[in-house]
Amino acid sequence: MRLARLGMSRHHPVDWNHPEHPLAKKEPRVGRRAILAATIHCPDGPLLCYCLHLEVFCGMLARIAQFADVLHDSKQQLTKGQYHQAILGDLNTMAHGIARLSANYCCDKMRFWSLGQSEGAFWHRNVISIMDSAWDPARDGRAEAQAGEDSVGNGAGAPQETARKRAPAAPASATPGSVEQSGKAGGGGAQANARLQYWGVPADVCKDVTNPGFHDPFDPDTTTLDNPSYRIFRVSLMKGKLDWLLLRRLKAVATSIGNHDYKASDHKWLAADVVWQ
């Protein structure tokens, strides 16, 4: 495994380095949110993995902005031939249930505007399901192949063979749930997430929050946190899908969930056995 880089998020809902910040007084922390990315050298090729832990003391829209940084980097890596990717981690998608009553955990208008659905369900409908056709996995490698063919047309024979070796077989596109193509945002075929635009998300975030081919092998209603402290007569006031495992050009042949007794952590873990696509 090779550590690729440590990327600092462009979006920081809480300034933890400001000692007078109300949350900084209650939850003393130092530093900023970062994105860990590592390339794992597997027998079938390199696998780029992102490890995330999004901010919990903010609103739903601030977390989506943090996630935009990851998708932005993911698309940059796709241009370099890093087609097989996984996004793993605690996204803290918890702005629902009893948390709506806390201005610390739900700090934006979605606190009440999203009534009737969990934050995880909102993400599934308005983030994960918004596919970007410009990054369709079925088109991976075609640009390189085209470049090779152009080189042959100019009298160079070797580049075409190299390009064909690089270009993987085109898989079926990842098409989770309900998909809505979004409007154009700038040149180069870039698209913007029209659903998030409707909710007032900034244009730069909407441009980045389009799915370049990731799919979720787990049900949107999966529960990874159900804190016993927030139950009344066995009725959960706060539970949801806070942890995510998103795959690109990887097929899950088996999935599992553990830590149901919450003894090892206050979250359950997710796991998937995958094969290359």
Q: How far apart are CA 125 and CA 176, in angstroms?
A: 9
**Is 168 within the bounds of a domain?**
no
pTM as predicted: 0.81
DSSP assignment of 142-185 equals HHHHHHHHHHHHTT--HHHHHHHHHSPPP-PPP--SS--PPPB-
Residue 253: in which H helix or E strand, if any?
strand 250-258
Q: Does 178 reside within a domain? A: yes
- Provide the domain count of the chain: 1
On the question of pLDDT at 251 being above 90, the answer is yes
**C-beta of residue 14 within 8 angstroms of C-beta of residue 47:** no
Q: Indicate if the pLDDT at residue 128 is higher than 90.
A: yes
Q: Do 69 and 9 meet the contact criterion of CB atoms below 8 Å apart? A: yes
Q: Residue 192's pLDDT is what? A: 93
The pLDDT value recorded for residue 193 is: 96
Q: What residue spans of 28-182 are helical by DSSP H?
A: 60-78, 110-113, 119-123, 142-153, 158-166
128, part of any domain: yes
Q: What is the CATH number of the domain that holds 240?
A: 3.60.10
Residue 227 lies in a domain: yes
Determine, yes or no, domain membership for 251.
yes
Maximum pairwise Cα distance, the chain: 77
Residue 62 has a pLDDT of: 93
CA–CA separation, 190 and 208 (whole Å): 9
Place of tokens 């942890």: 243
Domain, as residue range, for 70: 2-136+173-276
Report residue 185's pLDDT band, with 50, 70 and 90 as the boundaries: very low
pLDDT tens across 7-18, in order? 667 776 777 777
Task: Look at residue 6 and tell me if it is in a domain.
Answer: yes
In a domain, residue 160? The reply is no
Average pLDDT over residues 147-173: 40
Q: Is residue 164 part of a domain?
A: no
d(CA 97, CA 115): 9
